[in-house]
Structure 1
Amino acid sequence: MNRWAFALLMLTWFVPAPRAHGAEDAPWYMRSLVGMEVGPTGAQFGSDPSDVGYAARFDGAEVVRRCADAGSEYVVIWARDGEYAYYDSKVVSKCPGLGGRDVLREAVEEGAHRGIPIIAYCVVQQGGHFLERHPEFAMRGADGAIIPGRFCLNSGYLETLKALATEMIAYGIAGFHIDMLDQGFGRPYGCWCEACRRLFEAEYHAKMPSGATWDEGWDHMLAFRYATSRRFERALHDHIKSVKPSVTVDFNYHGNPPFSVEVGQRPVAHGENGDFLTGETGVWGFSALGVGLNAEFYRAATPGKRFQVAMQRGVRMYHDQTTRPLNDIRWELSTLLAHGAFVTMVDKTGYDGSLDPVAYRRIGEAFRDARSGRGDLAGVPVQDVAIYFSSRTRDWFAREEPARMFRSFQGAHRAMVLEHVPWGVALDENAAEATLGAFPVVLLPNAAILSDEEVARLTRYVGAGGSLIVTGWSGTHGWRGEPRKGSSLEALIGARLVRRLDSEDNHVRLPATAPSALLAGIEPAWSFLVEGPACVYEPAAAKPIGELMAPHRTVRQEQGKEGTGWPMSAGEPVGPAVLLHELGKGRVLTFAASPDAATAGEHPIVEARKLLANAVRLVHPSPRVRVEAPAFVESVVADEPATRTLRVHLIAYASTPATTPATNRPAVIPGLIEDAPMYRVRVTLPSSPRSARAGRAGQPVAIEGSSVVATLGDVHEVIVIQY
């Protein structure tokens, strides 16, 4: 199957919810674009039952009315959090400030009146009073002591969730959003309660390891934790469907960066357990670049399904009671929609349950803007590069330092976004040959651990005409993270692994005779820092290009009296910088260093970023679309073959400059987006387009040969091209 046939097959990945005749018969999440989640603030860190002022004005009917006025197409209402139920539950304690009122009933009745689906928000973790009363449900450490605030998912606690779900279904809700399915966000990475011990021993015929031993026992322990999470989710999903099949189920997902082994979730195994996947985003926790990256990660985890992403109206986190500027909200919302998500805006009420009118006014403006541009969200993506995510590398190479792997993955993404190279995500769990074959280029960003099956799949991909880019220590470690003598990718690379450098402050120097595509924006014969893992290779069939240079070391550093955290200057060459290997109908370009890790590192010089993007253009010189725009503008390209229409979404992240933070210097808090910037963009196609326009703002565009040129002035704009 060729890449365009595969893209057409996967059309449902990218087409937004329809509003055509008969759309009302589709499930609510198939016809929705924007919605809201509303819950109270004041019990997230615990609550005293005598605090009757908390949530006293949390009114389900008022929430639905305000959300409807803002243009919300569905409402997720908090029904149960870590402390209370916000309805008349017989299973857990009701919020005392509500008195005789029932927020869930109020919301469902008002939703029925307005034709708005009501989704019940329900928490799994975040212990609170219920866990204090039921220590038999607690996670326990290897020493048998209770781990505070964590429920064990094998303890029998599932029956409580089933009972809660049955209560809420009786209200007439349309679905559940089930949150906090994690097994913790830090050590210890496991539960050693009696239920877990029995299940583990029955499965593996061995005692549970006493901790993170990083051996066969720990391999089993991680698999056991992943299976525990999946079993819990599937059992709860199946129970809900058995009570009322039309009620939807989605679980908040933590299989994406920056989460690692601690949460007990893998990218695919835990993304596919509901009717659709729900994740979250936000500069506060995932960075500005994480907004689009998370959306594409969710898409890759659940191919063919819709996916929901939650964002929040607050500046720093969900409960902070601030409201972002309108353009800051529009930027994040537009980014998510352009990447194919439907979006839930999270609002936290005031302490007493009251709603902020300014927040709803701004949300309403952003929602109206999004809905008016619904027609420009059609099409399948044009994606040149698959950024490959190895969850095995995450778990067993990075281990308790997930940045060892994430830095390269996220740096590869940053380079593609800033250089306007269309990209997508491929996950090791479900990246079949057809998936990889849909991309002209596959990029392995420091994928240290690759199975024999993965290597064989990549070999077939290259042999069939694909281009592979390899960076850093890809293929240089064994199944449990142990260093290999050679690389599993040597036949693909066309070179022998001599050694891994123990330095990160490595340099690259390219000669003037290097391919011009590789040198674009880079001074020839100049050594520049490419900070990250590096390997020394001895070429065999591959063509060497340039030099990899290990750093100088002072006498004190060699004596171990001085650290190497700050980069030193380039020392002597130790091997080639780049290897280019023609193989079958395809080619493999290998970086001995890690331009991806460097792009997300402490010294992210522009040349390292350009080096990686140049490599893509060298192995894929004739892309379908080429976008030239400022680096602060993200481009997302979609194709609608039936109407021969290309849509180029341009989203400008023009945040205000920031000063040093009050704490944790130099972890600078990003500025907010206040103004709509003006910038020039050029979109180049293989041949001259029939027509072009700037989608919604009516800005003029010009056709210059095979290029479309425009000057734009909004946070989000779409250039619509007929070809």
Structure 2
Amino acid sequence: MTMRPRRLSVPLLLALTMLAASGAGTALGDDVPWFRRALVGMEVGPTGAQSGSDPSDVGYAADFHGREVVRRCAEAGSEYVVIWARDGEYAYYDSKVAAKCPGLGARDVLREAVEEGAARKLPIIAYCVVQQGGQYLSSHPEFAMRGADGAIIPGRFCLNSGYLETLKALTDEMIAYGVDGFHVDMIDQGFGAPYGCWCETCRKLFKAQYGTEPPAGATWDEGWGRMLEFRYESSRRFERALYDHVKKVKPGVTVDFNYHGNPPFSFEVGQRPVRHGENGDFLTGETGVWGFSALGVGLNAEFYRAATPGLPFQVAIQRGVRMYHDQTTRPLNDIRWELATLLAHGAFVTMVDKTGYDGRLDPVAYKRIGEAFRDAKAGREHFGHRPVQEVAVYFSSRSRDWYGREHPDRYFRAFQGAHRALVLEHVPWGVALDENATDASLAAFPVVILPDAPVISAEEVARFRKYVEQGGSLIVTGWSGLFGDRGAPADRSTLEDLIGAKLVRRLDSRDNHVRLPAAMARFPFEPLLAGIEHDWSFLVEGPAAIYLPTTATPLGELLEPHRTVRQKQGKEGTGWPLSAGKAVGPAILVNAVGKGRVLTFAASPDAATASEHPIVEARKLLVNAVRFLHPSPHFRVEAPAFVESVLTDDPETRTLRVHLIAGVSTPTTTPPTNRPYVIPGLIEDAPTFRVRVVLSIIPTSVTTAGPNTTVTLDDKTISAVVNDVHGVIVIRY
């Protein structure tokens, strides 16, 4: 349906701020690398050896046929196939380096897949594992990671050992088959304690670089700082060496590494967000409600974009409902929801299918995947455009390492909570990373949120100052800037000049409250009270601090919680919130700096939004601050909280698109274990919902991308009804 107004508009958004395009979704010629042409693809591998395998188990993968895999993927609409060539236990081809899966007999899955792919002009990517030990590590203990006590860490290869030569030999074998690329998985250094590596090779390298012995574990001091850097550089060096080797052997073969620089991964994996996102031809990550949450789907995609600006990024999803090898198949609309979310955020997407134990393929899974792929490819022109982003959520990798330490959720909670608040309130957002943030990249955002980032360097403070002085708006929450560079509590804030206040003390409580008086409902502070009852003390669960204003205007009250006599005596815990006690300082500080402003929350509405008590008012408080600082956005989307809105712009055709993706999962009951942590429900039905989009100008036309969405236009306001999981409003200007 098309609505045309009587008068044309001026060019849309002369001051619109946008990030670089990912390039996904644009139909390009065959001379363009496969990953720049692709929208959807598949990864297929067997199930049964992920936890080890007995060589006598010849039934495992006996019916895993490369030719059949490629044929079924092609029929489903896959534009490339990632075929398992080597996992943590076996090779699935005639390898001279790694043990071949015994159930294959004389067959060669990789050769079958490459031949079928060539006949269908379908790129074949070899899946190759680095970690996950298995038989190869058992027979080569010289490649094993070792703990500080010298003992082998089971299942982990040292990336500084001669194991790199094994990977080079494996890739040489596969390149000879004619593969188009490699997906290198499990490039981590482990997902928890014990941390490595203290083998003789690593000890010698460490001492040669730093002139001292490595620390005897996670000491969280200067020595551990060197060890963190050593681990990060070991990962980077391994990735770059393998990448360079492949390119030397055959330059046209692509290499991508499975990435673990994003939440919920911490220092343990040995990856930093930017340093380890840029080592391949493109970044590959993974999502899924099973491990990353429903909101993690879009968040991970934008995290990958921020880590490798201007480059394509691939995201892997899975057909199972709980984890990769569980042999279940999700409902079609559940698959469509995740696929649409990632495509709207600019990713190209790989659906992971794990075969049955014997290698057979599930026909129902391929039927549903095919339907989802056909739906996505029919809307190809609507994906891969530049995002419109109003607010940046700033990620501090140093806070992740030195404040989060071995409990990274301490830091992640506020970062993820800020994202959740923006999504549920339909504020266009992006991610800014400390490693590659520049004056120009921050200036692209009208508002930057610094979500409870305790470790902020002098260089970052200078960059934030310049950003604000030139007209930017900065939101500071919780304990941001209140810790030293190695994560120790500080006596003063590194941000105090920007905040316009001095630190009095940090509260040792998490169950803190905020009260906003009715007097704030007058100009100019009334936007801060939208949707929040006046003179009401409400819980804002998370870190908080008491500030004494210097140049800032104080607003509202921060209240510390009551404590029982038993709690004061240390006989009772404080894990469950108590009611508000006395007021101890201002709740909000507003400070003018140059042409811009800094708004500081003494509490943590972002952490509260991702806490165990995520009341609506906490997220309203954060988003109200955005609207107070940036009251006249070019676009305003009004939609149900279960709908994620993604705005993109194509300036060449002067087309704005509003993607609307509904995550309406079914209600669930308590799980059989780990109560009360409920297992998320699946999306079964296509919902119907209403949306309003308010523009700053009058568009030349408004259409929809399909028959399941209808629109009407009244001056600058678009009203729409969406009858599906995913709808797209197409606005010409």
TM-score w.r.t. structure 1 length?
0.98
**Structure 1 residue 12 corresponds to structure 2 residue 17:** no
Q: 2:703 aligns with which of 693, 698, 711?
A: 693
1:679-718 mapped onto 2 (5 Å cutoff): 679-697=689-707, 699-718=709-728
1:608 deviates by 0.1
1:301-380 mapped onto 2 (5 Å cutoff): 301-380=307-386
* Deviations 1:37-88 (CA, angstroms, capped at 9, x unpaired): 0000000000000000000010000000000000000000000000000000
In structure 2, the partner of 1:408 is: 414
In structure 2, the partner of 1:521 is: 531
**Per the alignment, do residues 6 and 382 of structure 1 end up closer, same or farther by CA in structure 2, a change over 3 Å counting?**
closer
SS at match of 1:430: coil
Structure-2 separation of matches of 1:196 and 1:240: 25
1:7 deviates by 5.2
Asked if the contact 2:21/2:384 (under 8 Å) is kept, the reply is no
SS at match of 2:709: coil
Q: 2:88 aligns with which of 77, 82, 99?
A: 82
Q: 2:134 aligns with which of 125, 128, 135?
A: 128
Asked if the contact 2:184/2:256 (under 8 Å) is kept, the reply is yes
1:142 deviates by 1.0
Q: 1:102 aligns with which of 108, 113, 117?
A: 108
Asked if the contact 1:6/1:434 (under 8 Å) is kept, the reply is no
Deviates most, 637-646 or 709-718: 637-646
In structure 2, the partner of 1:38 is: 44
**Structure 1 residue 289 corresponds to structure 2 residue 295:** yes
Aligned amino acid, residue 318 of structure 1: Y
**Structure 1 residue 643 corresponds to structure 2 residue 653:** yes
Structure-2 separation of matches of 1:327 and 1:539: 52
1:378 deviates by 4.5
SS at match of 1:674: coil
SS at match of 1:610: helix
Structure-1 separation of matches of 2:379 and 2:573: 54
SS at match of 1:24: coil
Q: 1:591 aligns with which of 601, 606, 625?
A: 601
**Per the alignment, do residues 678 and 688 of structure 1 end up closer, same or farther by CA in structure 2, a change over 3 Å counting?**
same
Aligned amino acid, residue 24 of structure 1: D
**Structure 1 residue 149 corresponds to structure 2 residue 159:** no
In structure 1, the partner of 2:5 is: none
Asked if the contact 2:540/2:603 (under 8 Å) is kept, the reply is yes
Q: 1:186 aligns with which of 172, 189, 192?
A: 192
SS at match of 2:88: coil
Structure-1 separation of matches of 2:634 and 2:652: 17
SS at match of 2:480: coil
1:6 deviates by 9.3
Deviates most, 346-355 or 686-695: 686-695
Structure-1 separation of matches of 2:72 and 2:385: 32
Aligned amino acid, residue 722 of structure 1: R
In structure 2, the partner of 1:268 is: 274
Asked if the contact 1:4/1:438 (under 8 Å) is kept, the reply is no
Gaps of 5+ in 1: none
Q: 1:498 aligns with which of 483, 486, 504?
A: 504
Structure-2 separation of matches of 1:432 and 1:446: 20
* Deviations 1:247-296 (CA, angstroms, capped at 9, x unpaired): 00000000000000110000000000000000000000000000000000
In structure 1, the partner of 2:3 is: none
In structure 2, the partner of 1:614 is: 624
1:39-54 mapped onto 2 (5 Å cutoff): 39-54=45-60
Asked if the contact 1:378/1:640 (under 8 Å) is kept, the reply is no
Structure-2 separation of matches of 1:11 and 1:576: 39
Q: 2:577 aligns with which of 567, 570, 590?
A: 567
Aligned amino acid, residue 281 of structure 1: T
1:88-237 mapped onto 2 (5 Å cutoff): 88-237=94-243
Asked if the contact 2:26/2:380 (under 8 Å) is kept, the reply is no
Asked if the contact 1:252/1:278 (under 8 Å) is kept, the reply is yes
Asked if the contact 1:16/1:374 (under 8 Å) is kept, the reply is no
Structure-2 separation of matches of 1:17 and 1:31: 7
In structure 1, the partner of 2:7 is: none
Structure-2 separation of matches of 1:700 and 1:204: 64
**Structure 1 residue 539 corresponds to structure 2 residue 539:** no
**Structure 1 residue 628 corresponds to structure 2 residue 638:** yes
SS at match of 1:703: strand
SS at match of 2:30: helix
1:334 deviates by 0.4
1:511 deviates by 1.0
Asked if the contact 1:512/1:524 (under 8 Å) is kept, the reply is yes
1:381 deviates by 1.1
1:661 deviates by 0.3
**Per the alignment, do residues 453 and 4 of structure 1 end up closer, same or farther by CA in structure 2, a change over 3 Å counting?**
farther
Asked if the contact 1:548/1:576 (under 8 Å) is kept, the reply is yes
Aligned amino acid, residue 24 of structure 2: P
Deviates most, 683-692 or 126-135: 683-692
1:688 deviates by 2.4
Structure-2 separation of matches of 1:697 and 1:485: 60
SS at match of 1:708: strand
SS at match of 1:602: coil
Structure-1 separation of matches of 2:41 and 2:697: 40
**Structure 1 residue 445 corresponds to structure 2 residue 454:** no
SS at match of 2:327: coil
* Deviations 1:427-464 (CA, angstroms, capped at 9, x unpaired): 00001111101100000000110111000000000000
Asked if the contact 1:7/1:380 (under 8 Å) is kept, the reply is no
Runs of 4+ displaced beyond 4 Å:
3-8
SS at match of 1:249: strand
SS at match of 2:232: helix
1:513 deviates by 2.1
Q: 2:78 aligns with which of 51, 54, 72?
A: 72
Structure-2 separation of matches of 1:68 and 1:369: 15
Gaps of 5+ in 2: 1-12
* Deviations 1:580-618 (CA, angstroms, capped at 9, x unpaired): 111111000000000000000010000001100110010
SS at match of 1:529: strand
Asked if the contact 2:232/2:272 (under 8 Å) is kept, the reply is yes
In structure 1, the partner of 2:4 is: none
In structure 1, the partner of 2:265 is: 259
Asked if the contact 2:657/2:728 (under 8 Å) is kept, the reply is yes
Structure-2 separation of matches of 1:699 and 1:124: 46
Q: 2:675 aligns with which of 662, 665, 679?
A: 665
Asked if the contact 2:144/2:153 (under 8 Å) is kept, the reply is yes
Structure-1 separation of matches of 2:697 and 2:198: 63
Structure-1 separation of matches of 2:543 and 2:311: 36
In structure 1, the partner of 2:687 is: 677
Aligned amino acid, residue 519 of structure 2: T
1:479 deviates by 0.3
Asked if the contact 1:321/1:348 (under 8 Å) is kept, the reply is yes
In structure 2, the partner of 1:238 is: 244
Structure-1 separation of matches of 2:15 and 2:320: 42
